[in-house]
Structure 1
């Protein structure tokens, strides 16, 4: 945070007994439901989440405290501090503190990001016009359609974010909206009613708790392993057949691999071979997922011929690498360079039932040309338009586009797809340059892309 928005003096002022006790009550609203359940201390959160997020969470509670009035005179810590110590602060710092004292935490959707300069924020809770936010460092990593729980305050002619900013996943957003609907709406309400600023101000702890429940759930989730001790990550290695290569020739060569057991004309099980002289040297330290044949032989993967492609399925990166090398050595010039689709356990679980394509984000190896990758994604998403999507209530995108409620869910889904594509770690990766804007037009909702 810039020095002109430094709150260190105000934080020192918090140590006074008359304010510290009040702060402890606010702090408990934000973290008590989490800490009490696990009989934990706030320091334990830092060990799980890291110092950065622990400091951010503490800042969320502190900024909420700055907005509250208590018994006595003065009733607000910012008013008291500025009256006694304000002369030590710059005009901009005083304006920032005063703005925080009346601020409201809300959930915003990010768009029109100008790295190092600004972004546009649309309030997802209150019915208000989008605003331009001046921001330097955060805009270097923000992506289109990110969701942020934040306090946006006007300071000397500019809208700026405070320090307590939490990135929200779709799951955390759903938890938050369910909580707000329960607090401000009728029981089982489908839509959040109009919420006044003072009402939302009083519900600031719900943002912290929604973020924590979602984040801790993901952090604490145990990692599944296979019998090799590798983390379960599903790989589909898709080998295009070379021009002129026949399926019969492919099958003949695959049958020369001792570890490949043919189940039918186009399907093989890849079986584990017991090393000579003993057992395996590596084993899972935790309970492992295993697939076996009827005779108990462990299955490492599956190989299947589908049209002009040979598919290798394996449940870890190590197995996919071994299987790919084995197939390429055996088939040689009968197959071309493969495409690799990777999905985590979480993504696979989210797809069932109903084919939740909202989480089916493919990771395709960077050595493939941009054109090849984009053509693959075009085909993939074109098929998705006619498949049930969990995020759309298990309706297909084309079905969702036929109703007003469905179109709103469709917009959220398309924004999610765009956002996940934009978050590729390398900007030169072919996935990062792929645009799903054609899907908006195909589904007739391009006018809602804002």
Structure 2
């Protein structure tokens, strides 16, 4: 263990103990209860149900309860009550700094002054350090000395943490959570909008300088609860075969013959349910309202399918059978005689299960589906998802499509493919996913 790590651990333990003493004990308890209530409310669980749920999660040397306690401590340290001086860290340093080493005091001051943000892992040296970039504040890449995190994390991983500057070097605090890319893309958009309105730009800095921290923190702290709500949800919610509106995923295609191509294009462009693709003028995303809006900044719609015109055909795909049925009705009402009746194909993940069951009386649940059926369905889902991704702009590829990046920066796109492969393997029952077709499609050589 390095001297700085030992100093940080000392500071963390000392302030954690101090938070449990009067007059801070009651404030700290209330702060922790507020976060617990927030998590329970957003996940629609009672306090006991939430505690039971997190108690069963194995996270190696660190428990889920420990990580949530870390959130409580590190956000409480930042909290100012009636004045900037009315802060637990300020009071501790005033009264007991003499008990601390110089480095421990600096660690505590940094923990107090800096707030949580999102870092993208750029590179790692396992057991030594991470190269990361703050993608909310858009600062320069920094080298963070982190022994355990550098072993567990990989390029393109997105994490919530605080980077502390100690003696000119960077270290993470103890609380680190991972996030999904879709959420990060969404929150980044909101944070950058706020920064622009305040005329704040941190691109020339490795880390926000002390004099600019109040302005940066005012923006970031507005989103801190949302970051941790999503982080906890990301850890507690396993991959399921339902979409965000709780409809079972299936693969459905509707094929129409077009009778008047120009009028069909005009109609599709005018319909609010379809979002036109900027790159492909003959491709639309089919969206529907989100039934439950989890976060204040979360989009009100979800993608449930797509439409594409190829020659004299309108080719439609949806991810659930109900969405397919609604799309048929929608197109019938708006396109009428401009297209033929559709040729419909539907693949239901439960069909095979139903055939194998002797008694149809019991309604199937996801647990009733054999692993081989789950494997087939999820494999097909990932195949279709990746096929679409190849021509979409990906934020972690510097807003290029994988096809473009394969030509300009093949190493970066290979790291992205490794991340996608790891994600798929974790969800598939077999733990295996064949990516060879993607490498072939991009003209890349797959390493053995």
TM-score (norm 2): 0.53
Q: What is aligned with 1:88?
A: 99
For 1:316-370, what per-residue CA distance to the aligned partner results, in whole angstroms no more than 9, with x for missing partners? 44579xxxxxxxxxxxxxxxxxxxxx4664x75577xxx321xxxxxxxxxxxxx
| 3-state SS of 1:388 partner | helix
Q: What is aligned with 2:120?
A: 109
1:126 aligns with 2:146: no
1:202 aligns with 2:213: no
1:141-180 matches, cutoff 5 A:
141-174=152-185, 176-177=187-188, 180=191
Contact 1:29 1:205 in 2 (8 A): no
| 3-state SS of 1:392 partner | coil
Question: Relative to structure 1, is the Cα distance of residues 128 and 393 closer, same or farther in structure 2, using a 3 angstrom cutoff?
Answer: closer
Distance, in Å, in 2 between the alignment partners of 1:270 and 1:9 is: 59
What's the offset of the Cα at 1:177? 3.6
Distance, in Å, in 1 between the alignment partners of 2:166 and 2:41 is: 38
1:427-442 matches, cutoff 5 A:
none
Q: Determine which of 378, 382, 385 is the counterpart of 1:356.
A: 385
Q: What is aligned with 2:342?
A: none
Q: Which runs of 5+ in 1 are unaligned?
A: 187-191, 225-231, 235-268, 291-314, 321-341, 358-386, 443-450
TM-score (norm 1): 0.52
Q: What is aligned with 1:448?
A: none
| 3-state SS of 2:388 partner | coil
Distance, in Å, in 2 between the alignment partners of 1:270 and 1:69 is: 59
Distance, in Å, in 1 between the alignment partners of 2:432 and 2:127 is: 24
Count of residues paired in the alignment: 304
| 3-state SS of 1:129 partner | coil
1:74-85 matches, cutoff 5 A:
74-85=85-96
Question: Higher mean Cα deviation, 76-85 or 24-33?
Answer: 24-33
Q: Determine which of 8, 12, 30 is the counterpart of 2:17.
A: 12
1:62-81 matches, cutoff 5 A:
62-71=73-82, 74-81=85-92
Contact 1:117 1:136 in 2 (8 A): yes
Distance, in Å, in 1 between the alignment partners of 2:186 and 2:79 is: 25
Contact 2:390 2:402 in 1 (8 A): no
Q: Determine which of 70, 92, 104 is the counterpart of 1:59.
A: 70
What's the offset of the Cα at 1:115? 0.6
Contact 2:354 2:360 in 1 (8 A): no
Distance, in Å, in 2 between the alignment partners of 1:13 and 1:62 is: 11
Q: What is aligned with 2:52?
A: 47
Distance, in Å, in 1 between the alignment partners of 2:100 and 2:228 is: 29
What's the offset of the Cα at 1:28? 5.3
Question: Relative to structure 1, is the Cα distance of residues 119 and 39 closer, same or farther in structure 2, using a 3 angstrom cutoff?
Answer: closer
For 1:212-263, what per-residue CA distance to the aligned partner results, in whole angstroms no more than 9, with x for missing partners? 34444437x5899xxxxxxx999xxxxxxxxxxxxxxxxxxxxxxxxxxxxx
| 3-state SS of 1:81 partner | helix
| 3-state SS of 1:104 partner | coil
Question: Higher mean Cα deviation, 18-27 or 57-66?
Answer: 18-27
**Highest Rg: 1 or 2?**
1
Distance, in Å, in 2 between the alignment partners of 1:96 and 1:145 is: 27
For 1:39-58, what per-residue CA distance to the aligned partner results, in whole angstroms no more than 9, with x for missing partners? 75555434223462232122
Q: What is aligned with 1:447?
A: none
Q: What is aligned with 2:420?
A: 420
Q: What is aligned with 1:388?
A: 388
Distance, in Å, in 1 between the alignment partners of 2:364 and 2:440 is: 44
For 1:81-124, what per-residue CA distance to the aligned partner results, in whole angstroms no more than 9, with x for missing partners? 12223333333222211110111211111122001110111111
Distance, in Å, in 2 between the alignment partners of 1:284 and 1:168 is: 40
Distance, in Å, in 2 between the alignment partners of 1:8 and 1:348 is: 49
| 3-state SS of 1:356 partner | helix
Distance, in Å, in 1 between the alignment partners of 2:442 and 2:219 is: 33
Distance, in Å, in 2 between the alignment partners of 1:215 and 1:400 is: 29
Question: Relative to structure 1, is the Cα distance of residues 84 and 218 closer, same or farther in structure 2, using a 3 angstrom cutoff?
Answer: same
Distance, in Å, in 2 between the alignment partners of 1:271 and 1:68 is: 54
Distance, in Å, in 2 between the alignment partners of 1:139 and 1:435 is: 30
What's the offset of the Cα at 1:78? 0.9
Contact 1:171 1:214 in 2 (8 A): no
Distance, in Å, in 2 between the alignment partners of 1:223 and 1:402 is: 27
Pairwise CA RMSD of aligned residues?
A: 5.1
For 1:394-416, what per-residue CA distance to the aligned partner results, in whole angstroms no more than 9, with x for missing partners? 9xx9x965999xx99x9998754
Q: Which runs of 5+ in 2 are unaligned?
A: 58-62, 203-214, 244-248, 252-350
